[in-house]
Structure formats: structure tokens, C-alpha cells
Structure 1
């Protein structure tokens, strides 16, 4: 009964009410009037709404594949039997434990165009560092770089997947004369695809809801020139800054449909590239 009450009170009821509020002019302070699908129609006329979708998709399309490639490569390295293996694993996992706001402050200093450590070392090797988050062209790549720094949690999952692969497969391949790269290509990566599939789903959902880093970096303004205005940031701004909760609720439902659509697409395509042990 406590679980059922919690489900109804904290999940089902807010879900139903948000669907209703998306059809009204509800503003938190006032109940609002029923306006049907006007909020949805106005969203498609909103220039910032389309900018936020572009920024979010740009981040998702680039960050998710990069995070998977980076995480898998890092997990393969950390899975090598070398001295100090536990220390290396701990060092790469620690960044994921740092609170996002603290991470933002660290990277604000590192990527500062005038006195940041990154541009300092780039200047030492004769490269003129970009303005990073101060530039419309470099703001999203800077955010992707910051996000890649915290892939330690995904690496732990990849490591668990690597250790679940039977050693017998590698021994048989070695007897047949397979090189390290051939064993990686024909055994490790195919049998790691279920874990990659899981991280692809979770990474896509997380990227579409990106909020803390860009919000902290820009004080919720999305500057410069709205290049850091992500979808959930704009949703938050409409709901809690402008008190347009009906408008924000409509945005939430559009995001829900986008997440469901992309997740369903990934599930459909996984039959072609995900390999499970014992089913091949």
C-alpha cells in the first residue's frame, strides 16, 4: 500500500495534471483558463523553442556517440592486467562523483580564455586557444568536453560487461592465431553490445534532459546568443521564471514524445547490432 500510494501521489497524479495544465493558461498563482492546444500551437511559432531543440539535438548527436567510444576505449584500457589497476580505475571514476555545480566551477576556470589552464598550455605549444564558452561557435563543444570528463559511471558498467565475457573465447581465439585486435573486434566488441545498448539508451535520455551544466554556466540565460539554451532550460525558464506553467507543461509532453520516439527507434534497430551470449 505505501508503494501504491507513492506511485499514485508522486508519479501518476503529477503526470495527469501536467497533461491537463498543458491545455490551460495555468501560472501557479492562478488556475488559468482552458485553451485547448493553443500552447502547443504557440510553441511551434516560438523561435527560442526551435533553438533549444537544435541545441539539445546537437549535443545529443555528438555527445552520446563520443561518450560511448570514449567509455569503451577507457574500459578496455582499465581492464588490462597491469600494476596499479585499482588506482587507475579509481582516478577515472572520481570525476563522476564531483557535484555538477562544482564541476562547472572547475571548468569555468580551466576554459577561461584569458587565464584558463587549457589555453595556457595551448599557447605554450603555439596554438591560439578559442574563447570556449564565451563564443557561440565553441560553447556547445565546450559543454560536450565538460560532459565527457564525467563518464566514469558508464566506464564501470563497461568494465562489468568486459568481465562477464568468458575467458574461454579468448583462449580459443589465441589458439587459432588471432591477434589482440582480432580478438577485440570479433569477441569483445560484439559481446559488449548489450552493455553499449544500455548505455546508449540511458545516455540519450540523459542528454535530452541536459540542464545542470548549461544552467550553471550561463546563470540560466543560455548565453551567448541562446547557443546554450537547452530544451529543459527553456522549459524551466517558462515554468518558474515566467510562471507560464501551462506552456512549460506542453513542452514537457513534447519532450516526453521525443524521448519515447528515439528510445523506440533504438530498440527497433538493436536487433541488427546487439549480440547476446548463447543466442548467436
Structure 2
């Protein structure tokens, strides 16, 4: 039987270094539109290295995180030493049993809800929330540059990756990294929420953030994408080094950086009693 290792195992530090935090306006909108106060209990599903956790903790909120990955949780715990009101359990959310039937005022999940079992996640969140509580979900997806030069650059990068996979990739059938690109077709996320019949959408808000990465930063970003990390898992160090150098040459040939926009989508939903 093929086992699925944690998607960010071994790459958590790079993830924490290169992945963006969330727009401050997004966090402020959550607080304003849900009306949560500092005395309320927040449950975070999949906090990772604490990008969103820190943004709420800095404002004085109590947050209990449920994190699957040991590597991610180690960084999260270290970052949250100064926040007495932040606690973390390392366990899959589907298996987490909670403490003394505690109910939460808000459950939120940043960039991770797509990893969870759809047959469990909505029902479990519904049970964990107080009446009138909120389930808040947010993600970002890249809006890549669709100019001719950008497409040419990406095609060249794809060709380089395929070349090294074809000549050097070694499959490990006993251990594969869990993969999910997090991308949904036009509002499948909303359809999933509605189909649960357990939550009603209060508001959906979108935010746009421009990013600009040089060749080294681009490679770090790609390393934190589980699907690409799985490719790296199957290559030896020399192949990875050679592939990276070829990708850098292409990026430098096209101006030395990769520019794109990140589209953040925030879904504020309320528990149906």
C-alpha cells in the first residue's frame, strides 16, 4: 500500500521564509464582519508555520491550532512562544477529538481547507462551533502574467523540468508526498459550502497582491508547492542543481524576475442552527 507523507515535510522552513502572509485588510475584515472579540475562542485548522496565526495573536486573540505536519508545527510553536494564548495540537483535524466538548466562536482555515476530507470537515466544524458561530475560509491563487513573453518563459521552464524528470526521476512507490494544487474551477469552493447545508455565506471578498520574485526566490516558491516538491523528491542533488541553474538562466534571459498577482478569496460563513 502506498503511504502519503506530509505534503510539506522537509520544506516547512522554506515555506515559512518565502510564502506571503495575508493582507492586513483581510484580517481586519474578518474581525469586523464576524464581530469577534478578544474574549472569544478561535480554532485554526491547518495553521502551518503560523502565517495567519501570528496576525490574530498580535491582536490579542486566543487561538488553538490543529496542525497535521510535525515540521510545520515545530516552526509554529517556536514563533508563538511569546503568545500565551496560542496553543497547538499536532494531529489530523479529522482525528482530533477536542477538549471537554469545548465550542468555539470562530473556526478559520487559511490555505488548507482543501486538504481535508469533505465528508468530515463541514459536519465537524458545525459541531465545534457555538450557535451563531462563524466558519471563515480563505485562500490565494496566483494570477500569472499571460503576456507572450511570460508564456514563452514558462514553456521553457516546463520543458527543462520535463527533461530532468524523463532522464533522472526515480519513483518511490512506497512513499509519495500528498499533492493538491489548491486550485478550483469557478467557484467550486462556494458550491461546496452551499452543498454542505450547514453554513450560509455571509460575504465573499477578494483582494489582490502583486508579487515579484527573482530567480532564487522563484525556485524557493516552487519548492514549497507539493506537486513540484514531489518532483524534487525523485531527483538527486546534482540533477536538482543542474535543473535549477537552467531555470535561472531562462528567468534571467527574460528580465531576471517573475511577476504575478495573488488573488486572495475570503469566505465568511455562519453556522446554520
Q: Which has the higher strand share?
A: 2
Q: What TM-score range do you get, normalising by the shorter chain?
A: under 0.3
By percentage of residues, which structure has more helix?
1
Bigger RCO (CA 8 Å, 6+ sep) = 1
Which has more radius of gyration?
1
Tell me the TM-score normalised to structure 2 length: 0.26
